[in-house]
Amino acid sequence: MADIESTTTNDSGFHALSRVGDFELSIDATTEEGPSPNEVLVADYASCYTFAFRAGAQRNDHDDLGKIQTDASADIDDDDDLESISFDVHVEADLGDDEQEELKELADDICHVHAALKEELYADVSVHPGADL
């Protein structure tokens, strides 16, 4: 048995329902009934990166980050393939330049989606400390 299993059902057109455990995701290539696969991937990457950013901070006894908000943006090419991804990570805590770089490196190492993507699609990450969130 695999560690992760999902079932995706497409009755017609370009809308699908995917079940992962007890959860259901509505994905639509036309974005009429849900986000597109590219949008889901970008949101999933941003979520994973946000969790990894906090986990890296906690591993280094920096438990007081407060709220974190990751704004993701992506560009697609003429074939509708992802071409680039960028994250702006807004953190309530006031972090120095060295801390920002250290936490970015730790998040890169911890984020499972980051590890799964080809290098040219790694997100270009900017950290914004002291954010009023």
Instruction: Note the helical H segments in 1-133.
Output: 37-59, 97-110, 112-116
pLDDT recorded at residue 120 = 82
Residue 33 identity (one-letter amino acid):
E
The predicted-structure confidence for 60-90, as pLDDT tens digits, reads as follows 888 889 999 999 999 999 999 999 999 999 9
One-character DSSP codes across 15-41: EEEEEETTEEEEEETTSSSS--HHHHH
The β-bridge relationship of strands 6-9 and 23-28 is unpaired
Q: Is the pLDDT of residue 1 over 80?
A: no
Range of weakest confidence among 47-51, 71-75, 119-123: 119-123
Q: Is residue 133 part of a domain?
A: no
Q: Provide the pLDDT for residue 123.
A: 82
Host domain of residue 23: 1-35
Residue 100: CA atoms inside 13 Å, Cβ hemisphere, count? 16
Residues 102 and 47 in one domain: yes
The number of domains in the chain is 2
